[in-house]
Amino acid sequence: MKHLLPALILSSLPLMVQAQPQDQSTEQLVEEARGLVKQFGGSLKSALQAAIKEGGLTNGIGVCKTIAPEIAAKNSDAHWTISRTSLKVRNPDNAATEWQQLQLEAMARQPVKDGKPVEVWQVSEAKGEPGFKYMSAIPTQQMCLGCHGKNIEPDVQAKLDELYPEDQATGFSEGDLRGAFVISWQQDRD
């Protein structure tokens, strides 16, 4: 396993954990993926909290729409890709692939294990496939309910209807699986 994946060149990633110039073991890739989730999730959450503090939930929605893809792109490069997905998406661009959907269905039954969000990964040598893919569950927290819960305020709902006419991402309760972070690594994306 150790020598199947070529060396990773990580120096161009501003938020990346330590670069490893030698071939990576699966364990190292998982560590890199965990680091990316931590950075991406953390940046997103603080940006969201700041936007809500500044202009309430409706402001948070607008900011989330712009910054979520931006922060994801900033944390991605020619080899690493980071995104979020869900069984019930707000943004149709985040719809799950078949493999992701299977993982989400299992995660929905048990989003948290031993106090930690459930994670899953796969190493593949198939052509055209990411060499490594990783997912980590996102459980719904209390602070998510204003925009993803059961009782959405009318002004918030109006903003969601305007920006996301196909929104499926409401009706969640605390502890439900809201979605998952998806990290993949491949030799070259083009």
The residues of the shown chain that bind ligand HEC, judged by CB under 6 A, are 48, 52, 57, 60-61, 64-65, 68-69, 84, 86, 89-91, 94, 138, 140-141, 143-144, 146-148, 169, 178-179
Q: How far is the CB of 31 from ligand HEC (least distance, A)?
A: 22
Residue 140 contacts residue 101 (beta carbons within 8 Å): no
Q: Which is nearer to ligand HEC, 5 or 147 (CB)?
A: 147
Q: Which is nearer to ligand HEC, 24 or 94 (CB)?
A: 94
Which residues touch 57 (CB under 8 Å, ≥6 apart)? 146, 147, 153, 155, 156, 159
- Identity (one letter) of the amino acid at 74? K
**82 closest CA partner among 34, 31, 12, 22:** 34
Q: Which is nearer to ligand HEC, 108 or 123 (CB)?
A: 108
Q: How far is the CB of 64 from ligand HEC (least distance, A)?
A: 4
Q: Which is nearer to ligand HEC, 24 or 58 (CB)?
A: 58
CA 118, distance to chain mean position in Å, is 13
Residue bearing tokens 């110039």 = 21
- Identity (one letter) of the amino acid at 82? I
Q: Which is nearer to ligand HEC, 128 or 154 (CB)?
A: 154
CA 111, distance to chain mean position in Å, is 14
Q: Which is nearer to ligand HEC, 128 or 165 (CB)?
A: 165
Residue 100 contacts residue 85 (beta carbons within 8 Å): yes
Q: How far is the CB of 74 from ligand HEC (least distance, A)?
A: 14
Give the number of C-alpha atoms closer than 13 A to the C-alpha of residue 27, restricted to the C-beta side. 1
Q: How far is the CB of 167 from ligand HEC (least distance, A)?
A: 8
**17 closest CA partner among 33, 1, 41:** 33
Q: How far is the CB of 131 from ligand HEC (least distance, A)?
A: 24
Q: How far is the CB of 80 from ligand HEC (least distance, A)?
A: 18
